[in-house]
Structure formats: C-alpha cells, structure tokens
Structure 1
C-alpha cells in the first residue's frame, strides 16, 4: 500500500493505492470525520486479487484540495473530483468499480446514477440512494419524521465554530482503538481542515432535493442498523433505486465506521461483490 498525490481539477489529492496498474480500477470513497485511511484494511485484500485500488482523500480533507467557499462543497464538486481522479489515473473516460461509505456513499450513489457508463459496479455502506429517502417519506409521515430525527446531527455539524467539538465527539463515539483513529487526528485536527471538512454539511441545502436516476449497474448495499442514522424503511426501499442486479446485506451489531469495526466481514462482502461482477 502506497501513499501518493494525484493531480486533478487544479488540486493535489492525497490517496492510498495498491495493486497492479493494469488491473481493473477500484475507487474507494471515505466517510466523515475520516479520510482515505478508513479503507486501509480492504485496500491490500483487493489488490491481492489483481485490482488497481485507489482511495483518495475527498476535497477539504487534504491540504492540496481545500477551497474556502461553502459552494465549493456542493456534492457535484466531489463527484467531478472523483471522475477527474479516475481520468488522471486510468485515462479519460475510463470505467471503474466504485465503493463508498458514509458521505462517500452519498457521493457514490450520485456519481453512479448520473454516469452509469463509467461505473462497472457499485457498493455503498450505510447511506442509501437519495431516492430511498423520498420513497420512505412519501410512504408515511411517520417515516419522514423518523428520518429527520435521525439526521438531526446535521444541524450541529453545520454550525460554524462547532467543528472541533463535533470532530472529537464523533471519533470518541466510534469506540475504535487509538491506532485506528490517530491518522484522522493528525490529518484533520486543525481549524482550517475542520472548517473545510464540515462544509459538506453546510452545502447540503444546495442539493438535498435533487432527484437522481436509478442505478443500472450491479449494486451491493450494506446497512448496519446500529449506526442509527438511517431508518429501516429507507434501507428497505433502497432496492427500488437499482434496476441492475442488487444485493442487500444487513450487518447486525456493528457500529460505524463499519470498515474498521468489522474489517473481516466487510472485506469478504466487498471482495465477493467484485469477484462476482469483474470483467
């Protein structure tokens, strides 16, 4: 596993990478308040199977890609970053396997829905397709109220000056050993970094009502009920947002970040998905 810098869209993105460059490309998108280190258990395992694995830091999470304006953190900007990183890594218009967790899953759903010709397979952890939230809300007012309550932490996360408290609170809540979280503290524990990272939440009103197409590629959705921020109804209805082969896995008794809390189980599921649908 190697640490590299990738030039894309005028920025320099930090990334972890492994595997033969001629292998099928797998892009891994991390969550918040984490960075590409979140995938460190899975990267070598995928590389051993011959995949070229790249896990980039999202914009705001590394010094070389940290614009100031909130508008620069519209979700489409993250999507365009990922496509540019792929073009820089594999060539313009290259296709790839895509996986995302937490906010990275939200970005992955959007990228796959809007660019189905680029995405070979999709795997998303915890967060479902945006359309699943609309479906659940339309099914009943109780569902809508339930999901709003589960997302109530968005308010605290978007408050200016509250970033450091939220960052440490979220890391402590994860209950991981220090060696699993120390890379996040070293990379992100500064005022500039945290302000940029939490701009993701401040920009949500710019796109949260967008309606996305359904995803036609083979898709794996993994839901850990214990993470508590996604309603059972939204998780269940996610299947309606995929027209291709779909697999829904419920991971009981595992908290976020599930990639680090249950690395063996997650690695097995994700590798199985890749092997089932690789070219």
Structure 2
C-alpha cells in the first residue's frame, strides 16, 4: 500500500506517493517523459517490503504537481533543486541531521535530473541509480553524431510553439514506443491519458526539452574544469539495449563516474523497468537494500 500527499519545495507543490517504513533508508524515484509517478508502480511495493522508505513524486509540470508557466521554469538546475529540496524535507522528517541523505533512482528525464543532483549536490546522496538516461557530458558528445540525431528528431519538433502541446494528448502512446506488447496494459494507458489531460501538463512536459535546448545543463558549473561533471557517488547504471531513442553508446560513462556498475539488458527497450521488471527489481534491491 502507498499514501499520497502534496509537499511544497523550491516554490512548487509536488504530488508525492510514499510507501515503506517511515524510518527506513530513504529512496526517491524520479520518472521520465511522458510518465508520472506510476512509472514506478512495479518497483514501489518490492522496495517498500524490503524496508526502504520510498517516495515517488510527480515532477513539476506533470500530472498533479504544479505546472509553472514559461520555459525558464524548467531549467535543469531548477529541476535538480526541486529534487534536492525534496530530499532535504523527507530526511528532516526522519530526523536526519542536515542536509540529509537519500538514494536516488531516475529514468529518462528523471535520470537526467538525478545526474544533475549527483553532480551538483553529491552530499545529499547515498547511492545513485540511472535507467536509460544519458550523463550530460556523454549526451553532448553523442548528440553530435548523425545516427543519434535521427533518433532524437522529436527534440527539434518540441521546440515549435503550441503544436507539440496539441499533438501530445492525441498521440502520447507513440511516445511509449519500443516496449514489449505487455509492458503497458490498456489500464496503464488510460491512466497515462488522464495524466496528459491535466491542465497545463502537455506544455509543462514539453518545456523540459525546450529549456534543455535553450539553456543547456552546465549553468553554474566551471566549463574549464574537466571534472566539473564527475559523479562521486556509488552508481548503478541499468541500460535497455533496444532503446529506440538513445544509442547504447550513451551508457559509456566510466570517465565521469569512478564508482560505477553498468548492467546492460539486451532484450529491454527504453522502458527497461517495465520490460524487465523482475530483473530490474532485483538489481535495485541488491544495490539499495
């Protein structure tokens, strides 16, 4: 069983689903595009039963969380501060000494934000798990290649005004392409359509991509420091090799992550935690519990 509530962090109200013992080791799960907290519904129960306190927010712009207007509200450093503030709040509730610590798990855009928390505020993290989300330095390098540019054509489409917002609610199922036939049930898709139909949700979700292209990921970091984007947190990277949007080359992050374990799942798509639920759950439990 899980509970739901709203919390205020970094100036926004986030909808958060929680499970597990209140004083268990804290784990925060970050969903990606175009999902919401239910991206993790197959992981929340097993992690909670293992004694972990699990929190799965709807990120800003998604589902029931606030959806600030304008592209600048979705800069990556703002998104990572949402998560950092959430970790501090949850840790404070547990009675942890400031600043508090948690393990962070992120998929897709949730993974992009999780990388940023690990780079910018590693003191908040015990461990980091990334599922099919590129480290920013790797992304910049691989995105220059024609093959990856073809895979990522939708990023350019999302820069257009108003049209992507109109298209997403109608063709959102396309965004979940590449999965196994049983990875998203009709009931799952109905819940996703409800989430996409929330007022302001299409624009908020798409503004992640607009802000990424306008502002990048290095604001506030020393561009002359080759180690500015190093991750000094024990990290598990799980990569579905059949990802239709991201090249397997994007999992080659050892240069920036000294304490790293990479697990490639050859039969899984981008939606790795749905395609290989049991395997992913076992990996998470082995690494986090």
**SS, match of residue 200 in structure 2:** helix
Determine the C-alpha separation between the residues in 1 that align with 2:39 and 2:176. 12
Determine the C-alpha separation between the residues in 2 that align with 1:47 and 1:13. 21
**Paired position in structure 2 for 1:242:** 257
**Residue pair 2:88, 2:101 contacting (<8 A) in 1 also:** no
Determine the C-alpha separation between the residues in 2 that align with 1:163 and 1:114. 31
Aligned residue runs from structure 1 range 31-180, under 5 A: 31-91=32-92, 92-136=98-142, 144-159=145-160, 160-166=162-168, 167-171=172-176, 174=179, 175=181, 176-180=184-188
Q: TM-score, normalised by structure 1?
A: 0.89
Determine the C-alpha separation between the residues in 2 that align with 1:47 and 1:64. 23
**Residue pair 1:2, 1:18 contacting (<8 A) in 2 also:** yes
**Paired position in structure 2 for 1:258:** 272
**SS, match of residue 230 in structure 1:** coil
Determine the C-alpha separation between the residues in 2 that align with 1:134 and 1:85. 28
**Residue pair 2:29, 2:106 contacting (<8 A) in 1 also:** yes
Tell me how far 1:29 sits from its aligned partner. 0.3
**Residue pair 2:63, 2:198 contacting (<8 A) in 1 also:** no
Larger relative helix fraction: 1
What is the aligned-residue RMSD (CA, Å)? 2.0
Tell me how far 1:209 sits from its aligned partner. 5.7
Q: Describe the superposition over 1:33-63 as per-residue Cα deviations: whole angstroms up to 9, x where unpaired.
A: 1001100111111111111110100000144
**SS, match of residue 131 in structure 1:** helix
**SS, match of residue 155 in structure 1:** helix
Q: How many aligned positions are there?
A: 268
Give 5+ residue unaligned stretches, structure 1: 138-142
Determine the C-alpha separation between the residues in 1 that align with 2:28 and 2:4. 15
Determine the C-alpha separation between the residues in 2 that align with 1:269 and 1:199. 32
Determine the C-alpha separation between the residues in 2 that align with 1:61 and 1:189. 10
Tell me how far 1:121 sits from its aligned partner. 0.4
Tell me how far 1:172 sits from its aligned partner. 6.0
Q: Residues 219 and 233 of structure 1: is their aligned pair in 2 closer, same or farther, counting only changes over 3 Å?
A: same
**Residue pair 1:128, 1:221 contacting (<8 A) in 2 also:** no
**SS, match of residue 226 in structure 1:** coil
**SS, match of residue 16 in structure 1:** strand
**Residue pair 2:75, 2:208 contacting (<8 A) in 1 also:** yes
Give 5+ residue unaligned stretches, structure 2: 93-97
